[in-house]
């Protein structure tokens, strides 16, 4: 799998972002000190397709630290369109034509729900309004540090990918070991 496709997949899983937002994400939108990722770049007006500020999973940090600009880059330049590379990777993996980059966004949300993330946290990660009332949905914003359950599940998902992967999904220079000395493909 090409490095830029791996970076794209890691970004999608870490953020549950829409593919366009994942491709536009830069290192400068990621606050490594606070451990948060702001999917809405400076100067972009927040639209109905909200781009939230999210907690950054520990395994995603090396992707951000190693980026010089855009997280998803090919030969040092930002990737604008990735559909062709994604389709090639999907076909090589033997997945159906119905699997798209957008599918990963839905899968991450589904996995969060299946793993017990509170219903109030699930829509705030992909930037949806809160599920309860219109008023609450309009005015309540969940601070990234309050999304502990959703954050913990991202770590679990990364561990499951590590366990199931037949080969590393991340270049060796981006891999880090956890406290137990296990290497993680997304870390």
What is the domain range of residue 26? 3-174
Q: Residue 150 above 90 pLDDT?
A: no
Q: Which residue has the tokens 């981006």?
A: 174
Tell me the percentage of the chain whose pLDDT exceeds 90.
Answer: 23
Residue 148, domain member (yes or no): yes
The confidence band for 129, taking pLDDT boundaries of 50, 70 and 90, is low
CATH of the domain at 13: 1.10.443
Q: Which of 85-89, 122-126, 166-170 has the highest mean pLDDT?
A: 85-89
What is the rounded distance in angstroms from the CA atom of residue 15 to the CA atom of residue 67? 16
Residue 101, domain member (yes or no): yes
Residue 103, domain member (yes or no): yes
Give the pair of three-digit tokens for residue 39. 């999917």
Residue 185, domain member (yes or no): no
Number of domains into which the chain is organized: 1
Query: Which residue, among 108, 123, 128, 101, has the nearest Cα to 19 in the 3D structure?
Result: 101
- Give the count of beta carbons closer than 10 Å to the beta carbon of residue 142: 17
Q: For 29-64, how does the pLDDT look when each residue is reduced to its tens digit (9 = 90+)?
A: 999 999 988 888 888 887 777 787 888 888 999 999
């Amino acid at each position: 799998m090409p490095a830029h496709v791996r970076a794209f997949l890691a970004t999608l899983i870490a953020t549950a972002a829409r593919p366009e937002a994942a491709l536009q994400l830069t290192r400068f939108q990621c606050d490594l000190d606070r451990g948060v990722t702001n999917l809405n770049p400076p100067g972009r007006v927040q639209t109905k397709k909200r781009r939230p500020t999210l907690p950054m999973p520990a395994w995603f940090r090396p992707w951000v630290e190693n980026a010089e600009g855009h997280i998803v880059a090919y030969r040092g330049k930002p990737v604008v369109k990735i559909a062709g590379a994604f389709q090639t990777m999907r076909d090589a993996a033997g997945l159906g034509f119905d699997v798209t980059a957008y599918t990963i966004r839905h899968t991450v949300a589904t996995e969060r729900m299946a793993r017990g993330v509170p219903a109030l946290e699930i829509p705030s990660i992909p930037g949806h309004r809160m599920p309860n009332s219109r008023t609450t949905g309009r005015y309540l914003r969940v601070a990234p540090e309050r999304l502990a359950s959703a954050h913990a599940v991202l770590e679990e998902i990364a561990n499951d990918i590590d366990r199931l992967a037949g080969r590393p999904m991340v270049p060796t220079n981006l891999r880090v070991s956890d406290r137990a000395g296990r290497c993680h493909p997304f870390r």
